[in-house]
Amino acid sequence: MGTKISADIGIIAAGPAGLCAAAAAAESGCSVVVFEKAAGPGGAANMGMGPFAVESRIQQKSMVNLTKEKAFRQFMDYVHWQADAQLVHDYIWKSGDTINWLEDMGVRFAAVMKNFPESEQTWHVVMPEGGGIPGPRSASAMNKVIHEYCVDNGVKFYFNTPAKKLIKSGDSVTGFYASGTDGEEYEVTAKSVIIATGGFGTNPDMIQEHCGYTLNKDLFDFMIPGIMGDGIRMAWEAGAGHGRMEMERIGVPNLPGASLGEWPQTTLFMQAGPLAVNKSGYRCCDESVLQNGSICENIIDYQQDKVMYKILSDDMVKYYRRNGMDFPSEVFHGNPAENFDDNMQRAQEQYPNLAFVADSLEDLAEKMGINADNLLNTVERYNDMCDENYDDDFGKNRNYLHPVTGKKFYALEFRCNAYGSLGGIKINHNYEVITDDYQVIPGLYAAGTDVCEIYNGTYYYYFPGNTMGFALNSGRMAGENAADFVQD
């Protein structure tokens, strides 16, 4: 018959949302069990660098003057107020305190950063385990600390044990079934259940059905193992309404591993100088706006076949080697202009459809399969504008006007990509799961990516760290609210 377990609160998943829900519920004095599909805690956030917040202690010390009020207004205007204003308010108002809470738990943040010049300084980049320079995967150190804090506060974790189905008693949710990969079956009885399974970012069918993208054709994805929409499915089966569903889209070089720093030369292509063209060989934007990954994605999404190329020449590489980057990065290290040609040759050998090296622009266009005449005209016009020191196409900042000249030419394909999905389970601002008729399902809460539907189409990159910030804060609030429900 399997193992029967009972607790005040049963939490499905141990990503940052589930971990913070567990920590908050345990602090409130509840008994808590967490069932996680993977072998350890942290979820997709183990790949990332850090969360968003406003008015944290670190920001105050760093004299960051973004206020909660300003952040709230900026955010709501950006999404045209097409989001639950009360929920966004609570998230932003709580965010600074959540960073302080995590610090008090033992999480160490390396610094609070921007990720491009026009963004706000909201990104609390986590100090990697053992110290050192932060970078991709730093946030795994944060997840480890929260997990240890939960264990110290009596939370019991079951890894390799995915939840399968919610248990209902009348209208209320009173537990769930789970199955261990070792074959052990569990029946968990709980006064309240919190779902935080990270969305459907690795489920091609759900992406197609709910967002209209064909995976690996018009959208690429990090494909974090196990993020299959389980929690959303379980909630819907239990009567939950359908929330707004979209992908957390970013435009990136399509070389596998590039976003994790595995191809250092890609950082050079992401500077404001390299020319951006579409398949027809026409220039498609002021290249300096591409630093904003969401805007970059929107630009790519609009082009023929949803593809964009960035072009560099050896003269431009020399310029960057001498002068450094337009946007020096604190999290992608080294000078990408060093060994650039070798790295590009290696990329071309491994991925001849994504990275291109040629001795002339004609050859480059042929390798890329784009219109050569148009590309030559585009480059000629662009170089003239560089000579005149004025971008008559898009008004790009003069500092970024570097002519595409020299003896060698390089191009990299950029595609629409996604960190994962957003939204699915309908909730109210208390993180209570509700039906399509806005009726609360007693005992059922949800948090993190499974419910994150605040962006209205384009992820708000101007506040870096936003989805991890939402996961931590929504999880924490769901844990607090579930504890109140249990203790009432």
Give the residues lining the site for ligand FAD (CB under 6 A): 12-18, 35-38, 43-45, 47-51, 162-163, 196-198, 222, 224, 226-227, 230, 259, 419-420, 448-449, 465-469, 471
HEC letters along 163-222 = EEEEEEECCEEEEEEEECCCCCEEEEEEEEEEECCCCCCCCHHHHHHHHCCCECCCEEEC
Counting every residue, how long is the chain?
488
Q: Which residue lies nearer to ligand FAD by CB, 137 or 306?
A: 137
Handedness of CA 418, 420, 424, 425 (dihedral sign): negative
Q: Which residue lies nearer to ligand FAD by CB, 193 or 471?
A: 471
Q: Quote the least distance from Cβ 189 to ligand FAD, whole Å.
A: 17
Cα–Cα dist 488/482, whole Å: 10
Residue 169 neighbours by CB under 8 Å, 6+ apart: none
Q: Which residue lies nearer to ligand FAD by CB, 136 or 442?
A: 136
Strand-pairing partners, residue 231, are none
What single letter denotes the amino acid at residue 326?
Answer: D
Q: Quote the least distance from Cβ 52 to ligand FAD, whole Å.
A: 6
Q: Quote the least distance from Cβ 99 to ligand FAD, whole Å.
A: 13
Q: Quote the least distance from Cβ 74 to ligand FAD, whole Å.
A: 17
DSSP 114: -
- Can you read off the two tokens belonging to residue 350? 């491994």
Would you call 108 exposed, middle or buried from its count of C-beta atoms within 10 A (0-12, 13-18, 19+)?
middle
Q: Which residue lies nearer to ligand FAD by CB, 236 or 394?
A: 236
Cα–Cα dist 162/34, whole Å: 10
Q: Quote the least distance from Cβ 200 to ligand FAD, whole Å.
A: 10
Q: Which residue lies nearer to ligand FAD by CB, 47 or 354?
A: 47
Q: Which residue lies nearer to ligand FAD by CB, 16 or 96?
A: 16
Cα–Cα dist 108/95, whole Å: 16
- Can you read off the two tokens belonging to residue 249? 């889209």
Strand-pairing partners, residue 425, are 242
Q: Quote the least distance from Cβ 235 to ligand FAD, whole Å.
A: 11
Q: Quote the least distance from Cβ 470 to ligand FAD, whole Å.
A: 7
Asked if residue 186 lies in contact with residue 158, where contact means CB atoms within 8 angstroms, the answer is yes
Q: Which residue lies nearer to ligand FAD by CB, 108 or 321?
A: 108
β-bridge pairing 185-195 and 3-12: parallel
- Can you read off the two tokens belonging to residue 423? 């939204």
> Three-state DSSP class for 20?
helix
- Can you read off the two tokens belonging to residue 247? 């992908």
Q: Which residue lies nearer to ligand FAD by CB, 197 or 278?
A: 197
- Can you read off the two tokens belonging to residue 192? 């309240």
Cα–Cα dist 49/138, whole Å: 5
Q: Quote the least distance from Cβ 109 to ligand FAD, whole Å.
A: 12
Cα–Cα dist 18/198, whole Å: 9
Q: Quote the least distance from Cβ 475 to ligand FAD, whole Å.
A: 7
Q: Quote the least distance from Cβ 472 to ligand FAD, whole Å.
A: 8
Handedness of CA 416, 228, 207, 422 (dihedral sign): negative
Q: Which residue lies nearer to ligand FAD by CB, 100 or 371?
A: 100
Q: Which residue lies nearer to ligand FAD by CB, 102 or 468?
A: 468
